[in-house]
Chain A
Amino acid sequence: MVLLLPERWVTGIRAVGVAFTAVALGLSVWALATFDPGITGAMQFEELHRWIPSVNVFYHLGVDGLSMPLFILTTLLSFLAAIASFSIKERIKEYYALYLLLVAGMLGVFVALDLFLFYFFWEIMLVPMYFLIGIWGGERREYAAIKFFLYTLLGSVVMLLGILALYFTAQPHTFDMLELLRQQGTFLRAFQIVVFLAFYVGFAIKIPVFPFHTWLPDAHVEAPTAISVLLAGVLLKMGGYGLLRVSYPILPQGAHWFAWPLAILGVINIVYGSLVAMAQKDLKKLIAYSSVGHMGFVLLGIAAMTPTAFNGAVMQMFNHGIITGALFLLVGVLYDRAHVRDIEAFSGLAVRVPVYFGIMSFTMFASLGLPGLAGFVSEFLSLAGSFPVFPVLVIISGAGIVITAAYFLWTIRRMFLGTLNPRWENLADINFRELVTLVPLMVLMVLIGVYPSVLIKLMNPALTELSRVMTAIK
């Protein structure tokens, strides 16, 4: 926000943008270091101030094992995407100002403990996103921007009604999530179901769950690279986070009622997303639809409510953030040079750009769930945790994994193998700055793939507790 000060000082503006996100990253790492995952049932780094006392609104922040990984993910990706944004060449000042506003909103969502504040941050993101896609996006940017804006606004206003319904049902009236959590036993089952559905519309559009997913391919494809990264890496996680943070603990009976539909929708996401991805010609669109499929695993895990499945779901959110974030960065790298994203337009690139080929294949392997890399662990946990609850659905979603593997391998073959298309004789390989943005993500993919406990230790206590509470209520 301080960014509005410097004028046409390009390097300076970039430096400030990166510096702010770096500070945020640094602070979040410090928070991570001092975070004690063992504490359940209480928030850490809690902040509580009166804001609008007449309507009982508080400025209430805090993190626990559920929000911590996603918080770190946000600061990490926004730092890397700020570096990747150097390829933005026009209206840089506005770009970074909106970018930082967007990041502020995203971080706020993950730490807000007051529903009013949560909604506040949730909506604050829409405006910068609208402009970021609409001004710096691709050819059909205006359409994509307004579609994104209207879709998500519709979802969030329905959620607002749910928030207000909770507020007036609670005695005393409150927006505080922890207080509502204590009162959840007093909410009637029918009420819980209705409010759950209201929240669900808001969250499902963000995730996105079939059939609310149609904004996603448009927004992802038209958005500039860094924004695609944040869209896929962070925004999509807000829906899953919202379900686990708000809907589940506060409306457990609604959640139980909706578990089956949610699981089925998850499987539809997995299978349908993968099938549609296979049919895509545009590389960015392919990755966008692969996101739909990957988020299906999150839904399935959330619906199953076992500790393993919860861990798998949250981990899948984190992993999808780093993997798909990396994929969008890679597409951006190629697009900056070739100015096309058509898979058909490329062939035999492996010879020309070996390093790029290596990283792209590596990331795609991670995305399709190759054992040893991050994607495998979380998909496995999510499926393994869901199997006792939804055995048939888990078997069906196995098909999704096969299709995912198929289209990623097919894409690698089409783009990088075979004879080199002479058009790309002079294609330059990935440069140092781009490597800087990608290497940390690759390191994480390997680290989590080989030693998933780093993440699990962080979130397991909180998620096990949530699972225990959920099963106890049924």
Chain B
Amino acid sequence: MEYNWLSLSPHLILAGGALLLVAAGAASRRFAGAVAPYFTVAVAVAAAAAALALGRGPASSWFGALTVDPFFEIFVVIFTAALALVALLSAGYAPLAGSDRPEYYALLILVTCAVSFMASATNLVLIYVAIEFSSILSYVLVGYIRGDRLSAEAGVKYFLYGAAASAVMLLGFVLFYGMTGATDLATVAAHLPRMSRVFDTWGHATVVAPASGAAATLSPVFIFLAFALVLVGLGYKIAAVPFHMWAPDAYQGAPTPVAAFLSVASKASGFAVILRLVLTLHGPLDLVYAGWTKYVAALAVASMVFGVLVGIVQTDVRRLLAYSSIAHAGFALLGVVADTHLGFASVLVYLVLYAAMNIGAFGTVAVIGHVTGSYDLKDYGGMGRRHPVLAAALAVFLLALAGIPPLAGFFAKFYILAALIARGYIFLAVVAILASVVALFLYARVLRPMYFSQGAGEDLRRLSAAAAAALLVCFLFTVLLGVWPQLLVAWAKAAVVPLLPGI
């Protein structure tokens, strides 16, 4: 057991930045309000730089409660990138103008801090606290627009579902504790009966032998039950069917930049915990029931199919994107189902690429909503003529989400499919590609009015430079990472391989 203040630096930078912003807001509201978005970007960059610097070094921990490693590094980069982009998008977002600006940004930074804890936490208690921390802040952000009934309703709905889900999850954590008497994941894993596994490079696993019988008296059912309960809470966090009900309402009611943040950072944080748990508790899970991946697969398939089919009939673009994000959660879960180095790495790659394109899509929708005052598909008619650049940007992001090369979404899906095929999960791969084909129809519902029909609408406001910069960054990453994903793939592999036992 050792501690190292340095390993906390990304979290400390974020927390310190948020407090500084609140303090500045108390001193001079006008000044703090004006610089808040840019200050947030600076904090995000600093935290990312700290994480990157730490990730390069050896993995370090804080009394075993949290671990700073390349896995953490990749997630912090997703979170801070989302933070910076969302801060820029929020800068010109009209409905927020009357609200308390410095506090809004401080909350955003704090949520980022919370989800960063989720990615680094290796202790059940800390994981739970981090999840609650991030959820509570999220409820506030969703309901942030004062006097807006939709926003308030969304906040409450999100809160109620969240409270139930986290209670169920806590029960799962308690079971783990009861079985092992420990809260840190390494000890939990060691005390549960385990098997060691050997992986080859492409993830074909061979079960070697049960390693120890330390806790052989435990009923395997409990292990499975504990894992299943935890999965409910995390399924809520990543908005997987059937724990998704809050997402469309929350995304619709929340300030749209916040929806962008939730759909990317919050979802990624859920995946961070899922991956951390699965990677650490691999052995016990396999011993109990080697087919545990089937249950994850069921979640994944339900999310993809349901998300896509229900998404098609939506008329509010934010709800449509919410269902699309549910489908994407399902697709990414397939990487977990593959249960190999390749599979876990493909989830990380997916989350990074998804972050770029989905913030881009939500961001463009926010900007269009800002410019035209509407989120209704009807009002997207003729957007290709009225706002050629915005329409083209949205088209690119949507096609990327649909998985059309050379954009980012293609490689993301390709890599997940590769992981599935490598394991011989042909059926899942077929379901996944059918869902993607139908998903194209979903995105075409937005493309069609933009380009194929005429529409009248007047501009309410001009596009802000900060939002334009954020969209440009998303656009560049969506295109560049799609064409040249090599570095990302290498990074994701490096993050996953050390966490799995075996080679």
Contact = CB atoms under 8 A, between A and B. Distances in A.
Interface string B244-255: 000000000000
A158 B429 CA distance: 10
Interface residues of A, number: 32
Contact of A150 (B415, B441, B486): B441
B71 to A, nearest CB: 17
B448 A134 contact: yes
Given A53-B486, A120-B405, A124-B405, A135 B452 contact: yes
A417 interface: no
Given A52-B489, A141-B452, A142-B452, A164 B421 contact: yes
B440 A150 contact: yes
A165 B484 CA distance: 23
B444 interface: yes
Interface in A134-169: 134-135, 141-142, 145-146, 149-150, 153-154, 157-158, 160-161, 164-165, 167-168
Contact of A52 (B399, B429, B452, B486): B486
Nearest to A121: B405
Given A52-B486, A146-B448, A157-B433, A168 B202 contact: yes
Interface of B: 202, 399, 404-406, 410, 414-415, 417-418, 421-422, 426, 429-430, 433-434, 436-437, 440-441, 444, 448, 451-452, 484-486, 489-490, 493
Interface in A158-205: 158, 160-161, 164-165, 167-168, 173
B87 to A, nearest CB: 30
Given A146-B444, A164-B417, A168-B421, A157 B436 contact: yes
B451 A54 contact: no
Given A157-B437, A161-B430, A119 B405 contact: yes
23 contacts: A51-B484, A51-B486, A52-B484, A53-B486, A54-B486, A54-B490, A55-B415, A55-B418, A120-B405, A123-B404, A123-B410, A126-B404, A127-B399, A134-B448, A135-B451, A149-B440, A149-B444, A150-B441, A157-B437, A158-B433, A160-B433, A161-B417, A168-B422
Contact of B418 (A127, A157, A158, A167): A167
Contacts of A167: 418, 421
A408 interface: no
Contacts of B433: 157-158, 160-161
Contacts of A127: 399, 404
Contact of B448 (A120, A142, A154, A168): A142
A272 interface: no
B150 to A, nearest CB: 32
Given A126-B404, A146-B448, A153 B418 contact: no
Most buried by A among B405, B433, B440: B405
A130 B417 CA distance: 25
B348 to A, nearest CB: 13
Contacts of A173: 202
Contacts of A54: 486, 489-490, 493
Interface string A25-54: 000000000000000000000000001111
A134 B490 contact: no
Contacts of B452: 134-135, 141-142, 145
Contact of B437 (A145, A154, A165): A154
Interface in A45-87: 51-55
A197 to B, nearest CB: 12
Contacts of A123: 404-405, 410
Contacts of B414: 160
Nearest to B411: A52
A131 interface: yes
Most buried by B among A53, A141, A157: A157
Contacts of B486: 51-54
